[in-house]
Amino acid sequence: MRAVFWALLAINLVFFAVMQWGGALTEDSRESLELEAINPQKIKLVTGVTAASAAAPASSPAASSVAAPVAAKPVATPSPVVAAARPPAPAAPHVCLEWGDFSGDELVRASKSLAGMVSAEHLARRPVEHLEGYWVYVPPLHNQALTNRVAQLKASGITDYFVVQDGGKWQGAISLGMFKTKTMAQTQLSQLKAGKGVADATVGEYMSRIEFVRFALKDLDAATAGKVGALPKQFAGSDVKTVQCKAAAKR
């Protein structure tokens, strides 16, 4: 019995020793095998793995293969539509004219005609001299006859006149206007005879230095220029000329 007891005890001790140290030896050998399996020379780093693929389990297809990144196609930005700029409207052409020549009553009448259609900043007067011209006059009178005739002219409303007192052959003559052309002088004579009853007046050449006035009209619009161009129909013997605006007289 005692021999059986010691045999059983020995068996138990061996079994206990195996249970205590045998597992540890097995684990050490297993860990040694695992460490040998992890060879740092055989480790390969995989780049471009997304967080989602890294988090996927090893058995899933996403973990075993890495999808190549797809570049996003640039979205074409539509060009802004720019309306074509309209060219500026061409400025209305300016017209510069000269109209003349006038003196005496015709000058007064022409000035009134222009005042109604041309403003002062577009109008100027330019003196013009002629060495010869025509005049409307009452032949020379003397003494009381001259005095009476002057009184009659005043009574008829004629104020643009002067009595010649140069001591020559025209001494005592009454001038009723001087003109550049004979046509202008005859027009004045006709008006005096019809409207003022001046039956004894006549037209003649006047050989002397005579000053006339020519109107310079600058920067007119087309409509006003057309009106001025029609004025010679009312003033016989006058003329309208188109000139370069830079040549128009300045005020």
Closest CA relative to residue 219, chosen from 196, 242, 187, 190: 242
Look at residue 182 and tell me if it is in a domain.
Answer: yes
Q: Looking at residue 149, what is its pLDDT?
A: 95
Q: What is the DSSP letter of 193?
A: I
* Mean pLDDT by groups of 10 residues along the chain of 251 residues: 67 64 52 50 51 46 48 58 59 81 88 90 88 89 94 92 89 91 90 90 84 92 92 89 71 41
Going by their DSSP bridges, the two strands 239-243 and 95-102 should be labelled as antiparallel
Residues 172 and 137 in one domain: yes
- Dump the DSSP string for 24-78: HHHHHHHHHHHHHH--GGG-----S--HHHHHS-TTSHHHHS-PPPPPPPPPPPP
Give me the pLDDT at residue 66, please. Answer: 46
Q: Say if residue 144 is in the same domain as residue 113.
A: no
Identify whether 21 is part of a domain: no
Provide the pLDDT for residue 35. 47
CB 209, CB 152: distance < 8 Å:
no
How many domains does the structure of the chain reveal? 2
DSSP state at residue 12: H
Claim to verify: residue 118 and residue 216 sit in the same structural domain: yes
Residue 104's domain comprises 92-129+212-251
User: What is the SS3 assignment for 79?
Assistant: coil
Domain-located, residue 147: yes
Residues 99 and 157 in one domain: no
What pTM does this model have? 0.43
Residue 241 and residue 190 in one domain = no
* H or E element in which residue 89 lies: none
CA distance 174 to 150: 8
